């Protein structure tokens, strides 16, 4: 029987003797490696915090105590220690175990996370709730050094400085965000690591003094007393201490005994404490230790070679974007690139390599990234801000107040728009129409394929005012490769026409947006093959402005007008287009437009179908599974249209 076999529910770890803890850590690591190599998931961060999480579980009681993992991608050991190890084969699959903490999954998960830098704010809320209630549970936030670059952390510190009770922040410092951590925060943490030399210095000096006869012991005692002033010398100006938060550390994040002792002490103090723990990202797996950025989030891979088992034989939209940006940067020196700690994820790394001086990694600071871009644009540059759809949600007001209201020429490259799959509800990029649809003066383009993305970027670089281009995760569609001119701001008719059919068949229009054009090609072909109906097939292209002229022209000419977009309903193309069509219909039906030449003999009252995401939140699963479940796969859309036909 392995030691891990004895861990079946929360707090079971406390019955394991301390001498066996390193072996248990080894078993947990092997378990994580086996499961993640099979299913994919977040690896390096999880390997780094095995001992840290075990020490927290030895110092806390679950579910009474509240442990909040920032981002939450590093919570696998916590899940294993709280009775969920048998579900790990379902990790990140449809209806399976989430890759992030979920209150709905276990009452040992105190708070749902996925986006960075929220943990301290949530912890302050929980600590104050506890105090108001007269409770005594422990509250602890675990936050990485990368997540310390997010502004909310400092807003939370500002309030935390007034807290008169216990709250423990564990700063998990591995010197890495996804890529190497950047900027002033990482420099400041470097200075805090000086604490190590403070500790070494103090112990060393004490030892030397103790060996000096007569006076030595006395001086050493005095030195102990002056600990605080010495510490002040080394830690002088430490931001954390200045904020009224007691700093402890740095502590070896792979030494369970030392951490457990430190955490137990920290929980006893009646004040906010920050324990600075140093860990190695990817610890215990040589490839992940060597390439932590590559092993941050992985597809299934071979444990022996570290190589991915998913063949990447086509370029992704991210690659297409990254390469085109370099090409444009070559032609126009005003183009600069901004990433919020996601140079590789967004493809900005291509530009960064070629133009390091014109690339800015601002850390996990999406709001700042957008206003910083606005400043660059006001200063005569053309900033391209590449941020995932779900993370750009944070910068709503910055897009509105700092970019759009001022009409500044900022380009938003919105990657991971649409369903992202296994990261689940916090990461689905399905709300961007909702937050962009009413931005004043913003043009929003959803290209249909790889060349469309390149053309859209070129168009955006050459025009004036704010432009957003949204595209999905995954391989770029290579079909329908007509070079497209975006300057007309119109939708693109791909096939079919608006003429009434001679055979009296029903008339169908399909307007697909972005990556749903690829899916809708299958729908169109099925309607041709199975029903003998050739739909009027359109790529919406401009989510904003919608091609109003085309919508009005289509009105009265189709039995079914179907919109397809991987977005939530509010603000969707279909919702806004329906408004235009209904308004046009009311004109037609009251006879207003008949005078303008519309032939009412052929009038068809349309059934409007908006194939978009009608569920308020969408969990994890493969994109094709999710599309099916949401009724927006080609098959499901066909079923519905065929039923109506």
Ligand X SMILES: Cc1ncc(C[n+]2csc(CCOP(=O)(O)OP(=O)(O)O)c2C)c(N)n1
Which residue ranges make up the site for ligand X (CB under 6 A)? 45, 71, 73-74, 115-116, 144-147, 172, 174, 176-178, 281, 340-342, 364, 366, 391, 394
- As measured in angstroms, the least distance from the Cβ of 299 to ligand X is 16
- Token pair for residue 106? 């276990």
User: In whole angstroms, what is the distance from residue 270 CA to residue 164 CA?
Assistant: 7
Which residue from 149, 148, 142, 1 is spatially nearest to 78, judged by alpha carbons?
142
Contact criterion met (CB below 8 Å) for 385 and 367: no
Q: Identify the helix (H) or strand (E) that includes residue 434.
A: helix 432-436
| Contact partners, residue 267, CB within 8 Å, separation at least 6 | 59, 60, 138, 140, 166, 168
In angstroms, what is the minimal distance from the CB of 45 to ligand X? Answer: 4
| Of residues 43, 29, 37, the one with CA closest to residue 303 | 37
Using CA atoms, how far apart are residues 258 and 281, in angstroms rounded to an integer? Answer: 19
- Cα–Cα distance between 299 and 316 in angstroms, integer? 15
Nearest approach, Cβ of residue 147 and ligand X (Å): 3
Q: Is 281 a catalytic residue?
A: yes
CB 456 within 8 A of CB 469: yes
DSSP 405-472: TTT---EEEEES-B---TT-TTT-B--HHHHHTT-TT-EEE--SSHHHHHHHHHHHHHSSS-EEEE--
Residues 74 and 114: their CA atoms lie apart, in Å, by 10
Residue 537 beta carbon to ligand X: minimum distance, rounded to whole angstroms: 36
Sheet harboring 536-539: ordered strands across? 492-495, 536-539, 508-512, 560-568, 607-613
Q: Residue 364 Cβ, how far from ligand X at the closest point, in Å?
A: 5
400: left (phi over 0), alpha (psi -120 to 50) or beta: alpha
Q: Which is nearer to ligand X, 619 or 631 (CB)?
A: 619
C-alpha to C-alpha distances, 241 to 138, 167, 467, nearest whole angstrom: 21, 14, 43
* Closest distance of CB 152 from ligand X, Å: 9
Query: For residues 49 and 108, which CB has a smaller minimum distance to ligand X in the complex?
Result: 49
CA distance 186 to 236: 17
- 303: enclosing H helix or E strand: none
In the complex, what is the shortest distance from the CB of residue 400 to ligand X, in angstroms, rounded to a whole number?
18
Q: Which of 175, 366, 565, 566 is catalytic?
A: 366
| Catalytic residue of the set 281, 416, 557, 576 | 281
User: Can 268 be counted among the known catalytic residues?
Assistant: no
CA 214 to mean position of chain CA atoms: 62
The phi-psi region of residue 615 (left if phi > 0; otherwise alpha if psi is between -120 and 50; otherwise beta) is: beta
Contact predicate 60/33, CB 8 Å: no
SS3 327: helix
Which DSSP symbol is given to 429?
A: B
Least separation in angstroms between residue 140's CB and ligand X is 16
Q: Which two tokens stand for residue 210?
A: 């103790």
Is residue 265 annotated as a catalytic residue, yes or no? Answer: no
Catalytic annotation, pick one of 29, 138, 394, 470:
394
By beta-carbon proximity to ligand X, the closer residue of 116 and 555 is 116
Catalytic site positions: 281, 366, 394
């Amino acid at each position: 029987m392995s030691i891990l076999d004895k861990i079946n529910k929360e707090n079971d770890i406390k019955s394991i003797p301390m001498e066996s803890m390193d072996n248990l850590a080894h078993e947990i690591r092997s378990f994580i490696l086996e499961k993640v190599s099979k299913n994919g998931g977040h690896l390096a961060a999880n390997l780094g915090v095995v001992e840290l999480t075990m020490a927290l579980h030895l110092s806390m009681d679950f579910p009474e105590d509240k442990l909040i993992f920032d981002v939450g991608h590093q919570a696998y050991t916590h899940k294993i220690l709280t009775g969920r190890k048998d579900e790990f084969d379902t990790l990140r699959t449809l209806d399976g175990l989430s890759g992030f903490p979920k209150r709905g999954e276990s009452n040992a998960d105190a708070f749902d996370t996925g986006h960075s830098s929220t943990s301290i704010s949530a912890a302050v809320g929980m600590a104050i709730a506890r105090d108001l209630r007269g409770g005594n549970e422990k509250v602890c936030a675990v936050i990485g050094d990368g997540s310390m670059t997010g502004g909310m952390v400092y807003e939370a510190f500002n309030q935390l400085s007034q807290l008169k009770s216990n709250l423990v922040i564990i700063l998990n410092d591995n010197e890495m965000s996804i890529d190497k951590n950047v900027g002033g925060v990482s420099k400041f943490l470097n200075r805090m690591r000086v604490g190590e030399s403070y500790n070494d210095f103090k112990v060393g000096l004490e030892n030397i003094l103790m060996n000096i006869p007569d006076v030595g012991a006395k001086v050493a005692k005095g030195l102990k007393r002056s600990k605080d002033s010495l510490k002040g010398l080394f830690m002088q100006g430490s931001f954390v201490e200045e904020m009224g938060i007691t700093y402890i550390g740095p502590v070896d994040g792979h030494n369970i005994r030392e951490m457990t002792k430190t955490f137990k002490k920290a929980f006893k103090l009646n004040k906010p404490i920050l324990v600075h723990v140093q860990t190695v990202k990817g610890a215990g797996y040589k490839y992940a230790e060597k390439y932590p950025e590559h092993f941050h989030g992985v597809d299934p891979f071979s444990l022996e070679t570290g190589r991915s088992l998913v063949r990447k034989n086509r370029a992704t939209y991210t690659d297409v974007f990254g390469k085109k940006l370099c090409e444009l940067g070559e032609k126009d020196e005003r183009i600069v690139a901004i990433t919020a700690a996601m140079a590789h994820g967004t493809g900005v790394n291509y530009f960064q390599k070629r133009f390091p001086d014109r690339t800015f990694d601002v850390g996990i600071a999406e709001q700042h990234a957008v206003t910083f871009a606005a400043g660059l644009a006001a200063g005569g540059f053309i900033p391209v801000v590449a941020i995932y759809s779900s993370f750009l949600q944070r910068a709503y007001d910055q897009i509105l107040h700092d970019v759009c209201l001022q009409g500044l020429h900022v380009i938003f490259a919105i990657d991971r728009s649409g369903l992202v799959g296994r990261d689940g509800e916090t990461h689905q990029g399905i709300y961007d129409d909702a937050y962009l649809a009413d931005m004043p003066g913003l043009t929003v383009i959803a290209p249909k394929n790889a060349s469309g993305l390149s053309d859209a970027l070129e168009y955006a670089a050459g025009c004036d005012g704010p432009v957003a281009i949204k595209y999905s995760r995954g391989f770029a569609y290579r079909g329908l490769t007509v070079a497209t001119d975006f300057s007309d701001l119109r939708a693109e008719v791909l096939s079919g026409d608006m003429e009434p059919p001679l055979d009296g068949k029903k008339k169908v229009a399909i307007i697909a947006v972005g990556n749903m054009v690829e899916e809708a090609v299958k729908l169109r072909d099925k309607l041709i093959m199975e029903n003998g109906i050739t739909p009027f097939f359109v790529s919406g292209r401009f989510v904003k402005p919608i091609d109003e002229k085309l919508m009005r022209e289509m009105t009265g000419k189709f039995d079914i007008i179907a919109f397809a977009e991987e977005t939530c309903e509010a603000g969707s193309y279909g919702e806004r287009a329906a408004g235009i069509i209904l308004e046009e219909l009311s004109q037609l039906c009251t006879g207003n437009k008949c005078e303008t030449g519309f032939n009412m003999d052929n009038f068809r009252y349309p059934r409007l179908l908006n194939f978009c995401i009608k569920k308020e939140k969408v969990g994890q699963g493969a994109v094709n599974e999710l599309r099916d479940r949401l009724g927006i796969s080609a098959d499901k859309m066909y079923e519905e249209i065929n039923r109506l036909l």
